[in-house]
Amino acid sequence: MLDNANARRSVARFVDPVAKLLLKLKVTPDGITWFGCGITVFIAIAFLAQGNFLIGAILFGAFSLIDLLDGTMARMLGTAGPWGAFLDSTLDRISDAAVLCALVYFYVNSDAANSQLAVVAGIISLVMSLMTSYARAKAESLDAKCTVGIAERAERNIIVWIALLISGLFTDVMPYALALLALVSTITVIQRMVFVRKQLVKQA
């Protein structure tokens, strides 16, 4: 969940000992990557899709550091490389989609207030979150940089997590959080398109 450099450095002192222990137990970085995706999909299906937002938020937060473990373990082993980055990025898309699909599923089958807003915003958020990642991947394949945007994966996941927590403890704010997520994700895609266009036009 935490995928920016500052966040990784701030929690490294907690992650490193766990990574070393897992390596001693012969756990592989790829295994951790698969486990992180699997547990996220499980949380999405078992809790979020059923409207159990508080439990989902607690588990979502508890397992968020898994995203840091696989890369740390790979660096400790000296095996960090393109395959690990590809696997991590691919399974991250599956994890993100699972969470948003679970939320859309819940609101499609719910008579909660603003459920229609949640469904529409959730679908837009799903499409734009995938487009955010695709825009970067495509840009890099054209030798362009694409690291701009107000809502990368960490920010998007924080919005969802906070909304789950508030909805589970107090009142349902998820429809509004999904609307915010749809907005900032769309802005991020536009930012990336404009940023990449400037680079590619100069290269032409």
Catalytic positions, please? 92
Distance of CA 203 to the CA centre of its chain: 32
Q: What is the 3-state secondary structure (H, E, C) of the chain?
A: CCCCHHHHHHHHHHHHHHHHHHHHCCCCHHHHHHHHHHHHHHHHHHCHHHCCHHHHHHHHHHCCCHHHHHHHHHHHHCCCCHHHHHHHHHHHHHHHHHHHHHHHHHHHCCCCCCHHHHHHHHHHHHHHHHHHHHHHHHHHHCCCCCCCCCCCHHHHHHHHHHHHHHHHHCCCCHHHHHHHHHHHHHHHHHHHHHHHHHHHHHHC
What's at 18, amino acid-wise? V
